[in-house]
Structure 1
Amino acid sequence: MKLLLILPLCAVFTLTRQAPSPNPKCACQVNNSEKEFPHDKLRAVERNTTNCNKNITPQKTLEMESLLLGLERRLIQLHKDVSVLEREDDGEMYGVLSLFVIENEMIEIKQLIDKLNSTTRDNRRLTEDTSQELTHLHAEMVEMEKFDTMQVVRGRQVNKRLKSDLKVCKSALNATAAPTVPPQGVCSHGRLRNVTGPRVYTAGEYAGSYSYGAWGRDPRPQPGKESWYWRVMMTSSNKYANYVRLYSSLSALIIGVSNPGNVEISSSNPTTNTIQGPNNVLYGGALYYNCYNQDSVCRFNLTTKAVSTLKLPKGTRYNSKANFCNLDECYPFTDLDLATDESGVWVVYTTTQDFGNLVLSKVEEGQPPTLGQTWRTSVYKQGVSNTFMACGILYATRFVSVEVEEIFYSFDTTTGRERFNLGIFINKMSRNILALNYSPVDKMLHAYCDSYMVSYKLLFL
């Protein structure tokens, strides 16, 4: 009996001695059969892609298109002038004046072609370098797709395609016929339907300088000046200017050759008759603008150099108290916005009586000009980034993003109808549009954007 009792006790003692320690340590060894993902290579691809995006921009394409458009316009004008010269041939001698005009045009065409060739060479070199880089990037991405063993990326691509197809199906299912809209405005082509472009994108001769300003064409040019363009730059603190700069053609403006040059309003700046703010227009050989330190419109005749003044109603806000604004800031000294269309000159402003809402008045020609019919709107001026007129209709824009501006509002002076849901978008080339001018001559919208001159084509119903 004693022997049988001793054996279990020995067994218990042995098990107790072999029990694990109170703080056990466990180590696992994992063998990964997959290759290590090349994170360094992915970061290199991302850097190269970013560099490609910086080098290839819409501005470079538009620069070429602007040069080509300028050359096309100049060649058409040259053909007309040569035809005039041929008619002046009396058998022995050509018209000296016509020969001089053609000589100047040939010089301008040569300058334009030289700039076009230089730009073409730069773009060709950039295209070749980018093409090689894209080929390399494509090969790198194909190689890295092999690490997607669980098909995550491919699954996302399939889902994206399915969502796109579903969206197209829904759009087709919910499509309805557009309602019939009665004719609007005071001219035959009706309401604005869309904005395309840009067609022209150029800095002229002052690349990166003079952020504020305006440019465009004279809707009622003087004889012999039908192809001229004008530009006003705020040369003093982005607020004031004392001259208007003229160009004999679009190609001259693009390559930055000002002929006949500047027409000076006053010798100093700012002072009496100085241009205040960027929202100016040229009409009938006269520049209309906000007079310096006044709630008035000035009319400067480019030929006689005479300035006449139109006083606006009592309570008109001026001196940067009722500016156009974007989401983050307001544009200084944009209290008054001058505009032109098929019928003449207009002025957009606001008064204390209208609680900051837009007011539109027709400017009637005369010496001095007078204020015609006035319309009051329901849109708050500081909720607007710019305005322009077309066919007797006031259009207002607002800032959407760095790349997009929206024409969201219209006021028809014929019917008095307001619309707040136009939804017409402008593709911007830079953040800010400081001035918008409509040219009924060619139905172009001329925008001044952070020192660049940009034009868009307006499409009407």
Structure 2
Amino acid sequence: MRLYVIIPLCALLTVTKQEHTECTCELNNSERIFPHEKLRKVESSTSDCKSNIIPQKSVELKSLLQGLEQRLTQLSNDVLILEKEDDRGLYGVLSLYLIENEMNEIKQLIDKLDSTTQEHQILAASATRQLEIMKTEMKALEKFDTMQVIKGRQTIEVLRTDLDSCKKEVKALTQRPQLPQGDFPITLLLLLSLLFLPGNVYIHTSNPTTNTIQGPNNVLYGGALYYNCYNRDAVCRFDLTTKHITTLELHQGTRYNSKANFCHLEECYPYTDLDLATDESGVWVVFTTSLDFGNMILSKVEEGEPPALGKTWQTSVYKQAVTNTFMACGVLYATRYVNQELEEIFYSFNTVTGKERFNLGIFISKISPNIQALNYSPVDQTLHVYSDSNMVYYKVILE
């Protein structure tokens, strides 16, 4: 029985002793204390800088300049009047006295303006120094941002800007219309002019080969340049990636070497026998042969290695009565010279329906008399025009 009594008593004594024991903890903060006083100092400096640079100071300088301008104008007018006066010396002294007073007042304005300018220079230098100090102090305060809150916010702002830019680009791409083939009324809007380029470029006789470009009517499409091969009735294709050149033979009897140029009543445009054009569906070539009485022929250029000549259409418009052609939505358009200020899109040929029109009556305002080359870009629905060493852009609105 004693054994059972002793054990509870020991336990009781132990518990009683633990209840009277004191426990203390020591807390060590490894983080530096944030310098609130320094932050308040930066805020105070910002307020002082803002109060020193106020709009009234710039208004004061502007008013002084306007007053000086007015007094100088008045002085100039008074001197002119004095020069024209013929009062035989009666009032000349009085006029000179007035002019002297005006000059003294102008000098006072100049002195005040000079003083104000110096004050502004001192203020600008002081503000610059304060900004540099505040910038340094804020950089030091950023070190206390151990949780990277500020840096995280900056990163979020950059990402938000990039996201907005990306959204705008996606919206522009999705809103670009996919235009079908066929007739559309056209409206031209002049966008930009006077992008000056050098004049005609002539190839030296020692250089030409069949791979050399001949004529101005060349186009870039699908990573390749299409042009009239030198001294040949063929189209050359230069691949911009592989630097490889392939050729496309045209119909028998195709005229070249300035035998079937674009023309108007006063002159012809040299080496424009072949006209390369682009639209939403690809590359086209306009030419004529000795078998078609000089009328224009339109052929589709099929992409490939080598490119091939696709479907061909014959028109009833005489090529040398045309100044230029271009394609848009599978429709061939032709222009003619009206006068030095106007060019007319007068003709169209629809490759889908085979329908021709000679009465379109769409006029182009020119900045120079002659249009040596023009081409429609399906990327931005813009008509690019080369006119007497000027590049001009017209926005094409297909209704």
Is the partner of 1:422 in helix, strand or coil? coil
**Contact residue 195 and residue 425 of structure 1 kept, 8 A:** no
2:373 corresponding residue in structure 1? 435
**Alpha-carbon deviation of 1:270?**
2.7
Distance in 2 of aligned mates of 1:200 and 1:189: 28
Is the partner of 1:275 in helix, strand or coil? coil
**Contact residue 187 and residue 398 of structure 2 kept, 8 A:** no
2:165 corresponding residue in structure 1? none
Alignment of 1:49-448 (within 5 A): 187-188=179-180, 191-204=183-196, 206=197, 209-211=198-200, 235-236=201-202, 240=203, 269-448=207-386
The CA RMSD over aligned residues, in Å, is 2.5
Distance in 2 of aligned mates of 1:305 and 1:294: 20
Deviation per CA, 1:282-315: give whole Å up to 9, x if none: 0011000000000000000111111000000110
Extract unaligned runs of 5+ from structure 2.
Answer: 1-153, 163-177
**Contact residue 192 and residue 458 of structure 1 kept, 8 A:** no
**Contact residue 340 and residue 437 of structure 1 kept, 8 A:** yes
Deviation per CA, 1:388-419: give whole Å up to 9, x if none: 00000000000000000000000000000000
**Contact residue 219 and residue 277 of structure 2 kept, 8 A:** yes
Distance in 2 of aligned mates of 1:429 and 1:194: 20
Is the partner of 1:203 in helix, strand or coil? strand
| AA in 1 matched with 2:312 | T
**Contact residue 289 and residue 299 of structure 1 kept, 8 A:** yes
- Report the CA distance shift for 1:359/1:189 in structure 2 as closer, same or farther (over 3 A): closer
| AA in 2 matched with 1:419 | R
**Alpha-carbon deviation of 1:210?**
1.7
**Contact residue 182 and residue 351 of structure 2 kept, 8 A:** no
- Report the CA distance shift for 1:189/1:352 in structure 2 as closer, same or farther (over 3 A): closer
TM-score, normalised with respect to structure 1? 0.47
- Report the CA distance shift for 1:358/1:286 in structure 2 as closer, same or farther (over 3 A): same
Tell me: higher relative CO, structure 1 or 2? Use CA pairs within 8 A at least 6 residues apart. 1
**Contact residue 193 and residue 424 of structure 1 kept, 8 A:** no
Distance in 1 of aligned mates of 2:240 and 2:299: 24
Q: How many residues align?
A: 228
**Contact residue 232 and residue 256 of structure 2 kept, 8 A:** yes
**Alpha-carbon deviation of 1:327?**
1.6
TM-score, normalised with respect to structure 2? 0.54
| AA in 2 matched with 1:385 | T
Distance in 2 of aligned mates of 1:424 and 1:364: 30
| AA in 2 matched with 1:196 | L
**Alpha-carbon deviation of 1:190?**
5.2
Extract unaligned runs of 5+ from structure 1.
Answer: 1-89, 99-185, 212-234, 242-267
- Report the CA distance shift for 1:344/1:189 in structure 2 as closer, same or farther (over 3 A): closer
Q: Which structure carries more helix by proportion?
A: 2
Percent identity between matched residues is 67
Is the partner of 1:382 in helix, strand or coil? helix
